[in-house]
Chains A and B, each alone.
Chain A
């Protein structure tokens, strides 16, 4: 939802996503099966040690626990928003993102969406934490409401036509929470992944992470998923094999394989961001 906060600050990702059919989306998510590497048993522990070493000089005097999410990383590194000011005002794009997340979840879980506006709002209404978004949408009127509904219906149509039906054997699970405590719990890296597929690793990389974005493609989108790849590696002891972002605005997919360099760059990014948070008090 908060992904949309800076949606109007647009930069193209390094590799432009391509328009896709359902089969292409599936192929993008799968990647090349021969590229699923064997798990390096020392990688997860090494990344954790690196983070712990970096944090031990940073966390003195920190107000703990410091909860680090993809949003706080982005805000801190872009100097756009005070990351301590976590109470964001709901906007059209944020509400759209929240409803699209709910519809994506419904589609993956049940295989159908009947009425995008009604289903989406009903999904948010059942979660007390989303009451602000529900209130915001109910407060829309006139042209603003028409625009919102039109955009939602258009994106839902793209989702329904382009998103492939996943085999239940892939164990698709939506909005799974990850929380990795570091520095004795003083720092907690957190994330909620829109979609995880694949059983936990038994020696070869087996998990794919997918995010849905209702805004335009941005460079930061890849960084979000790389952060989630780091969390999954720390949590599961094995790196995921594939990261993919599905853009419901266009039906495009941006995907990449996971390698050691991707994970180490994410570690550096996390430590840089936490360093800045500490500097800024």
Chain B
């Protein structure tokens, strides 16, 4: 079952997913290995982010990682709220509400979550916030937002057997600034963080992660899940290494179970470094000019321009294999 889909014949799927998520396992990463990995990662990131302006920061999330690995390096379009982007924050709040009050349904929970956000808009006074955006929508627009959030909430609520999860944290995304320069921010998207069972059936200390994804698993799926695991691993506030991360694609009913080991973390680090390296010149167009000028000035030397030293972005196949 590791690294594959959950068998479609196992019903209910929520029970299978929960069982796999919580299964006991010895730790797969030694602390000493993690320290070495972290040191190497920070050094490579430092070099990759070197051309950045000291005030710049690259945010590496699953979206950017996927685009980088698949060669889609077009300029980021500015974020805007849509029913599609709003459904997760509303959904997370709704799932929490449903878990604390089992009589609440997704339709009721999303209605209340949206009403709370709209009330909050008066205090926030920021038109670009979710609250401000929702407050500006007419009834028909809000209905679409709620409908999308209902779908998301229902998908997450029915994905797992919550009675078996102990005290799960819902929607605990992690953001970690890596390295001393502060240039790189990793963002891990986590729908559920729970604790794996220990051998005696009680909950142990090791976290296990569950991410609900969109569409269907692609060749970058393993790295995307690896980023989630890496972010938790590097978060100094908690100092814990997850045992596994499960990706769940409700649109196609597929799951990917990925144990968090050194190989996964190393490949994810490589992918992050490549993403930062690919981002730096596009964010700092002057760097390309600088490199070209530098190259022209040193025609007589054997020093290659810095852009030419950029290794290729890791192929999707390699990361997914």
Contacts and interface: CB of A to CB of B under 8 A. Distances in A.
A110 interface: yes
Contacts, number: 124
Contact of A126 (B137, B154, B218, B253): B137
A125 B147 contact: no
A185 B217 CA distance: 9
Contacts of A126: 82-83, 137, 140-141, 144-145
A271 B40 CA distance: 51
Nearest to A42: B9
A2 interface: no
A202 interface: yes
Nearest to A39: B11
Interface string A114-125: 100011111111
B282 interface: no
B304 interface: no
Contacts of A236: 13, 253
Query: What size tier do the contact residues of chain B reach?
Result: 35 or more
Interface in A68-96: none
B107 A168 contact: yes
Interface stretch (A136-144, A173-181, A242-250): A173-181
B216 A188 contact: yes
Interface in B139-178: 139-141, 143-147, 150-151, 154, 158
Nearest to B106: A171
B307 interface: no
A199 B14 CA distance: 11
A237 B8 contact: yes
A109 interface: yes
B108 interface: yes
A200 B105 contact: no
A138 to B, nearest CB: 15
Contacts of B195: none
B201 to A, nearest CB: 23
B205 interface: no
Residue of A114, A121, A168 ringed by the most chain B CB atoms within 10 A: A168
Contacts of B111: 110
Contacts of B105: 168-169, 171
B89 interface: no
A20 B314 CA distance: 59
B151 A123 contact: no
Contact of B13 (A118, A122, A123, A200): A200
A105 interface: yes
A187 to B, nearest CB: 12
B9 A45 contact: yes
B54 to A, nearest CB: 36
A172 B107 contact: yes
A200 B106 CA distance: 15
Contacts of A202: 11-12, 15
A42 B218 CA distance: 26
A133 interface: no
Contacts of B145: 126
A102 interface: yes
Nearest to B149: A109
B215 interface: yes
A229 to B, nearest CB: 14
A122 B10 contact: no
A201 B12 contact: yes
B308 interface: no
A105 B137 CA distance: 16
13 contacts: A44-B8, A110-B143, A114-B139, A122-B137, A122-B141, A125-B141, A126-B144, A127-B83, A168-B105, A171-B158, A175-B151, A179-B216, A235-B252
Interface of A: 39, 41-42, 44-45, 48, 102, 105-106, 108-110, 114, 118-128, 168-169, 171-181, 185, 188, 199-203, 234-238
Given A179-B216, A238-B11, 9 more contacts: A48-B8, A105-B143, A122-B138, A123-B144, A174-B151, A175-B147, A178-B252, A188-B216, A235-B251
The 9 closest A-B pairs by CB, nearest first: A122-B140, A168-B105, A119-B140, A123-B140, A106-B143, A235-B253, A202-B12, A126-B141, A237-B8
